[in-house]
Structure 1
Amino acid sequence: MYHKKTQALLKSEINTIKKPQDMEPETKVAATSRHDEPITNEDRLTLSPASRLFHSPQFNCYIVIVMGFQTGINAEVVKAGLKETLYHHPRFSSKLENKDSKGGKKRWIRVSVNEEDHVFVPNLDSNIDHPDQFVEDYISNLTTAPLDLSKPLWEVHLLNVKTSYAEAVAVFRLHHSMGDGASLMSLLLACTRKTSDPDALPTVPTKTRADSSSNSSWFWWFILAIWSGITLIWNTLVDMVLFIATLVFWQDTKTPIKGAPGVELTAKRFVHRTVSLDHIKQVKNAMGMTINDVVFGVTQAGLSQYLNRRYAGQNEKYEGSKQKRSNLPKNIRLRANVLANLRPTVGIQALADMMAKTSKARWGNRFGYILIPFTIALQDGPLDYVRQAKAVIDRKKHSLEAFCTYLIANVLIKIIGAKAAGSIAHRVISHSTLSFSNLVGPLEEISFYGHPITFMAPYVYGHPHALHMHFQSYVEKMTICLTIDPDVIPDPNKLLDDLEESLKLICDAVLDRGLTKEEVV
């Protein structure tokens, strides 16, 4: 808990933000169409199936993106920058419109953006007590009130509060129906510029396809292609059987980090920790893996250590469990729900063009679900965690699970509607334990309308999990972001400690065994 004076200030500032019930009715907002012109069919666009899913009662999800800056925030400069960029983007200048009350069809309708409805600059004391806790509580309080559906579904809070990790903080809150996390993060990056070159867009790594040329004969290539096709079909069938079983009856083990029914409705808290991206790359290069493999392995190790401690605490009065090496029950079933982006990657330049002029770049939500199992156990060696993670991910890469779940979701939404489909999606996700995501960030330092960024931390809330884990890279740093239900995970910083320590142990094991290799550019 923090000082009562700080708590009172927080409540005062939060209460200045308009709540949905205080907003003007939708009919009045409709009059604020772009340039006060009559609304045409070109200004209307039907919501995609995935966007409709995010408006179902049991699946009302939001994205929060926190940016830390090296300097204080000049609010007028940021407002002017937003007006020249985000205000012109189709989703950031559109609200929801019900086509008819019977079918419940929703459409995006273009409107003019009222700055006072979206940009908030609370008047804060520069010498506020416990600033880190204040910012954490400020963001947590935002999760207690939904965005007003009669206006574009986004807002930004500019907090001139010096914390231990930044001179000031900007908090974006957006409804998930506006786009998936990858597209929204890319869009915000399109509003930034390189610190070293204020006119240049950031550089974000892109995936390169492996060279398919080979000295092997066409015969062996043909045999490998046939075998690859067979394993692809088999893996897909197995994954879909397990997915359907999860929908019907197959639930994860009730561990101390699994949320109870209704967890999606509770207020969430957001914490983060920054670690060295070089250490992750060191493991990646030494073991011939991807960064994704390493972060999954680190997560698997960190969760095992954290749960071992939690079980030790639960069983402390029985059999002296704290003296035992492992307090973990056997055969824990713990799976992460991962959203796989199926849309071709939209370049940052295309998104920048979209905010400046008409662009053919595609936008929205287009993803499938993947269920990834974690092995929760205390392994003999730290490297066992990443080896196991790589094996699981390699298999998942050779499966059409994401594509199949995407098609099934679209068909269900069209046949039974978004509300019923949302209930099905809610059931599948609630039968797993956590959500997981990983995004690649810029390779060099960037500035947001002239404000150099120290870190970026994306979060998601509104799904039926007590824990969402996200890894976000930025230059040579990796930020581990946790969305947690404090009633389920009261000590999130200990979980961050375990994740950080797991990365250190894995990296040390690579060094001890002399496995390091020079990074191949």
Structure 2
Amino acid sequence: MAAIVEREEPLTPAGRLFVQPQMEQIINVAIAVESPLDVHAFKAEVESSVMVKLPRFRSLLVRSSGGREYWRRVQIDVSRHVIPHHHSVSDDPAVSDEDAVNDFMADLCVSSPLPTDKPLWEVHLLAAHRTVVFRFHHALGDGISLMSLLLSCCRRADDPTQTPTAGAAGAAAKPPRRRWSAWKLAKLIWYTLVYVVEFTLRALWLSDEKTAVSGGAGVELWPRRLATARFRLEDMKTVKRAVADATINDVLFGIVSCGLSRYLDIKSPKALPEGLRITGLSMVNLRPQSGLQDISKLLDKSNSGTRWGNKFGMLLLPIYYHKCDSNPIGFVKRAKSMIDKKKLSLEAPFSYKVGNLIMSLLGPKFAAVLNYRIVCNTTFTISNIIGPGEKIRIVGNPVKHIRVTSSCLPHAITMHMVSYAGVADLQILAAKK
């Protein structure tokens, strides 16, 4: 009996949420390489990697007679997880490798769950397109945990003995301690109260007005298209320097605000009032350290601050429609002002703590309904993960780019950005309609 108990581990509250039908999420990571893929070498590398040694990657998802979910340890067959595709995934020979891979991932994002008769991860080797697509169920971990694990299997291109570092030097260092004043503390309390009330109303009935980019219940089943927007980090830093104390996230959100305003201006130039609100949903890392983590610390159960799994909160990020002739820098300034207030509040920790409380008291089905309503009542999803700051290799093969997207939500637009070696790739997953 002790051996059986040791081989079974209950899912975390966030893990139980992500296995509910309304909120089931799979993270898809595409890594393009420069040289042809060696399928046998890659399979051997996966078989010896730290990934297959982790308990959750060697466990089946099972449900007890009472409906409780568990991880049950099993022996894995790597050949069932590593799936080679020797021919092009596109029927049109004129389609570029980038578009073919994007179309492949877009199809995976709609109604393509992972089989439950094996641990919840897969690796697709698209040999014709020199791309590896990793698929991880969100119940295994969040973006920080999974990207940290993935890159622990890679090596720096300039020094194969070293693992990659996250972003620029010091990007993963602890943030400076805040200095609190009475006024700052008052603003924290006020912003937290306002945002918590709004978050609660979004879970009940408050919704964005309908526009050309609105989603809603059932939209997660619509066919998708996936496109990539590429940005040089130096260009984003140039824009950042035009606004005092701005960050890359401020610039990214300014770009999204400006882009959506221009799109809506084309689609419905006379129907929308100036300043119309469109709300995004963002996931925020709640670990003490930002950026990628030391995988040994993530796997250390005694280190609660950087533990493995899902440790993130949610933020509601509003943007406002403005005519396309507006000053583009104005979008960044407005984004910075809004994000600064969000950073000062406790909205993200509140959503994490309350989510766990609801899971414990009312169960995962009720929590999934609330989260589904929040998604239906907002317009888009956005996330940003800091990737390696230098060129890397996977199985000795130089990496060209790293791109991430996830399975569909009721949002009609989902955006995920990952930086790699001075370039940031924004994957835009949009409902075809």
- Rate the CA distance shift 1:330–1:382 in 2: closer, same or farther, 3 A: closer
SS in 2 for 1:469: strand
Counterpart residue type for residue 172 of structure 1: F
Pairing partner for 2:116 from 123, 146, 149: 149
Q: Does 1:278 align with 2:234?
A: yes
Trace 1:469-488 onto structure 2 (pairs within 5 A).
Answer: 469-487=415-433
CA shift at 1:125, angstroms? 5.5
SS in 2 for 1:364: coil
> In structure 2, what is the equivalent of residue 96 of structure 1?
61
Trace 1:401-420 onto structure 2 (pairs within 5 A).
Answer: 401-420=347-366
Superimposed CA distance per residue, residues 431-468 of structure 1 (whole angstroms, 9 cap, x where no aligned partner)? 00000101111111001111111111111223221111
CA shift at 1:128, angstroms? 4.2
- Rate the CA distance shift 1:440–1:349 in 2: closer, same or farther, 3 A: closer
CA shift at 1:131, angstroms? 4.0
CA shift at 1:393, angstroms? 0.4
Q: Distance in 2 between matches of 1:397 and 1:258?
A: 26
SS in 1 for 2:116: coil
SS in 2 for 1:229: helix
Q: Distance in 1 between matches of 2:177 and 2:16?
A: 39
Residues 350 and 359, structure 1, Cα contact 8 Å, conserved in 2 = no
Superimposed CA distance per residue, residues 113-143 of structure 1 (whole angstroms, 9 cap, x where no aligned partner)? 2122211112215994424443333223323
Q: Distance in 2 between matches of 1:358 and 1:240?
A: 31
Moved more, 411-420 or 361-370: 361-370
Q: Distance in 2 between matches of 1:271 and 1:448?
A: 24
Q: Does 1:305 align with 2:262?
A: yes
Pairing partner for 1:171 from 118, 126, 133: 133
Residues 43 and 79, structure 2, Cα contact 8 Å, conserved in 1 = no
Trace 1:481-520 onto structure 2 (pairs within 5 A).
Answer: 481-487=427-433
> In structure 1, what is the equivalent of residue 10 of structure 2?
46
Q: Does 1:265 align with 2:221?
A: yes
% same residue: 35
Residues 268 and 461, structure 1, Cα contact 8 Å, conserved in 2 = no
CA shift at 1:344, angstroms? 3.7
Q: Distance in 2 between matches of 1:369 and 1:347?
A: 17
Residues 328 and 377, structure 1, Cα contact 8 Å, conserved in 2 = no
Residues 63 and 176, structure 1, Cα contact 8 Å, conserved in 2 = yes
Trace 1:242-261 onto structure 2 (pairs within 5 A).
Answer: 242-261=198-217
Residues 293 and 393, structure 1, Cα contact 8 Å, conserved in 2 = yes
Q: Distance in 2 between matches of 1:433 and 1:183?
A: 26
Superimposed CA distance per residue, residues 70-106 of structure 1 (whole angstroms, 9 cap, x where no aligned partner)? 11111111111111112112222222122x222x111
Q: Distance in 1 between matches of 2:248 and 2:292?
A: 22
Q: Distance in 2 between matches of 1:258 and 1:380?
A: 23
Q: Distance in 2 between matches of 1:358 and 1:415?
A: 25
Q: Distance in 1 between matches of 2:221 and 2:257?
A: 27
Trace 1:439-458 onto structure 2 (pairs within 5 A).
Answer: 439-458=385-404
CA shift at 1:371, angstroms? 0.3
> In structure 1, what is the equivalent of residue 316 of structure 2?
371
Superimposed CA distance per residue, residues 249-293 of structure 1 (whole angstroms, 9 cap, x where no aligned partner)? 210111111113211233433221222111001122342311111
Pairing partner for 1:338 from 282, 297, 307: 282
Unaligned 5+ runs, structure 2: none
Q: Distance in 1 between matches of 2:202 and 2:42?
A: 46
Residues 139 and 269, structure 1, Cα contact 8 Å, conserved in 2 = no
- Rate the CA distance shift 1:46–1:309 in 2: closer, same or farther, 3 A: same
RMSD (Å) for aligned C-alpha atoms: 2.5
> In structure 1, what is the equivalent of residue 33 of structure 2?
69
Counterpart residue type for residue 55 of structure 2: P
CA shift at 1:347, angstroms? 8.3
Q: Does 1:123 align with 2:89?
A: no
- Rate the CA distance shift 1:358–1:83 in 2: closer, same or farther, 3 A: farther
- Rate the CA distance shift 1:347–1:439 in 2: closer, same or farther, 3 A: closer
Q: Distance in 2 between matches of 1:349 and 1:129?
A: 41
Q: Distance in 2 between matches of 1:358 and 1:417?
A: 25
- Rate the CA distance shift 1:268–1:344 in 2: closer, same or farther, 3 A: farther
Which structure features the higher share of strand residues?
2
Residues 44 and 108, structure 1, Cα contact 8 Å, conserved in 2 = yes
Residues 191 and 352, structure 1, Cα contact 8 Å, conserved in 2 = no
Residues 183 and 346, structure 1, Cα contact 8 Å, conserved in 2 = no
Q: Distance in 2 between matches of 1:368 and 1:185?
A: 18
Aligned residues: 420
Residues 190 and 348, structure 1, Cα contact 8 Å, conserved in 2 = no
Superimposed CA distance per residue, residues 283-305 of structure 1 (whole angstroms, 9 cap, x where no aligned partner)? 22342311111111111111111
Trace 1:132-211 onto structure 2 (pairs within 5 A).
Answer: 132=97, 133-143=99-109, 144-162=111-129, 168-204=130-166, 205-210=171-176
CA shift at 1:349, angstroms? 7.1
SS in 1 for 2:148: helix
TM-score, length-normalised on structure 2?
0.90
Counterpart residue type for residue 291 of structure 1: I
Residues 131 and 161, structure 1, Cα contact 8 Å, conserved in 2 = no
- Rate the CA distance shift 1:346–1:46 in 2: closer, same or farther, 3 A: farther
Superimposed CA distance per residue, residues 203-246 of structure 1 (whole angstroms, 9 cap, x where no aligned partner)? 1122453477xxxxxxxx7xx52222111111100001111121
> In structure 1, what is the equivalent of residue 69 of structure 2?
106
CA shift at 1:407, angstroms? 1.4
- Rate the CA distance shift 1:447–1:311 in 2: closer, same or farther, 3 A: same
- Rate the CA distance shift 1:39–1:79 in 2: closer, same or farther, 3 A: farther
> In structure 2, what is the equivalent of residue 79 of structure 1?
43
Structure whose alpha-carbon radius of gyration is higher: 1
- Rate the CA distance shift 1:192–1:249 in 2: closer, same or farther, 3 A: same
Q: Distance in 2 between matches of 1:193 and 1:346?
A: 21
Residues 41 and 395, structure 2, Cα contact 8 Å, conserved in 1 = yes
SS in 2 for 1:383: helix
Q: Distance in 2 between matches of 1:140 and 1:298?
A: 23
TM-score, length-normalised on structure 1?
0.76
CA shift at 1:405, angstroms? 1.2
> In structure 2, what is the equivalent of residue 362 of structure 1?
307
Residues 187 and 352, structure 1, Cα contact 8 Å, conserved in 2 = no
SS in 2 for 1:237: helix
> In structure 2, what is the equivalent of residue 423 of structure 1?
369
- Rate the CA distance shift 1:196–1:433 in 2: closer, same or farther, 3 A: same
Counterpart residue type for residue 432 of structure 1: T
Q: Distance in 1 between matches of 2:106 and 2:335?
A: 32
Q: Distance in 1 between matches of 2:45 and 2:132?
A: 14
